[in-house]
Every structure is written in C-alpha cells, then in structure tokens.
C-alpha cells in the first residue's frame, strides 16, 4: 500500500497564539494548547501513524526500496512539521514567560531542544 505525502501547505497549520500554549508553575511544567491546536497536532500524528503502518506493509510486501524511502522522507517531513508547530508555541509562550520571570536557564534548554530537533 503506497501512501502519498501531502505538502504541509495543504494542511492548514493551527499556529498557537501568544500565551495559549504553556504554563510554568513552581515544580510543574505543562503545556496548555488550545483545543484547535491539540486537534491539529493529534490529526497530524494520526496521519503519521498511518503512514508508518503503510511503510511497514510496504516492507512486508517487498516494495521497491526507493518507494519506501520516499515514504520515509514524507513521514520525516510530517514529524518536522509537528515539531515546528510545538516549537513555535513553546517559544512564543513558555520561553517568553520564563524569560520575563528572570529564568535564563530556558535559553540553554531551548538550545538543547533545537539541537535535538535539527539532527
């Protein structure tokens, strides 16, 4: 079963609004995404999950390697889009909030996270 990847432009990104994503309280860090953002992320992740199952099926059916690799590239791109949405919301809310509170450790945390995302 071959899967077609859709460019990120075909799926509207529910971009987070200032202050709606994250909250940093003493001893507990949590994200607070709007329902629209959560629905968008869950929808994207469900699609990715289906693509992964499709790639597994392609491998089980001995599908031509280049076709499988193209699907893997589409999955990686889709995961990167999810990461970008989360990173944008994190930077616009959590990072700004923590900096306003004088917590500069958030910069190191953010740099480490971005380094992991860019591997």
pTM of the model: 0.74
Q: DSSP letter string over 27-56?
A: TEEEE---HHHHHHHHHHHHHHHHHHHHHH
Highest mean pLDDT among 1-15, 28-42, 70-84: 70-84
Q: Is residue 105 part of a domain?
A: yes
**Residue 83 pLDDT more than 50?**
yes
Q: Count structural domains, the chain.
A: 1
Give percent of the chain above pLDDT 70: 77
Domain harbouring 112, CATH code: 1.20.58.1000
For residue 59, tell me if it sits in a domain: yes
The residue segments making up the domain with residue 55 are: 31-117
pLDDT, tens digit, 9 for 90 and up, residues 41-80: 999 999 999 999 999 999 999 999 999 999 999 999 999 9
Is 111 inside any structural domain?
Answer: yes
Residue-level pLDDT at 11 = 45
How far apart CA 3 and CA 55 sit, in angstroms, is 8
User: How high does pLDDT run on average in the chain?
Assistant: 83
Is the pLDDT at 98 greater than 80? The verdict is yes
- Residue 14 domain-assigned? no
Query: Residue 26 domain-assigned?
Result: no
Would 22 be classed as within a structural domain? no
Residue 11 lies in a domain: no
């Amino acid at each position: 079963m071959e899967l077609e990847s859709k460019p990120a432009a075909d799926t509207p990104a529910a971009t987070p609004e200032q202050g709606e994503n994250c909250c940093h309280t003493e001893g507990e860090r949590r994200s607070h995404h709007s329902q629209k953002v959560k629905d968008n992320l869950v929808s994207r992740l469900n699609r990715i999950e289906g693509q992964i199952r499709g790639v597994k099926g392609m491998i089980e059916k001995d599908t031509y390697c280049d076709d499988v690799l193209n699907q893997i590239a589409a999955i990686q791109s889709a995961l990167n889009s999810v990461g970008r949405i989360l990173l944008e919301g994190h930077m616009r809310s959590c990072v700004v909030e923590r900096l306003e509170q004088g917590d500069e450790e958030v910069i190191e945390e953010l740099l480490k996270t971005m380094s992991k995302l860019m591997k």
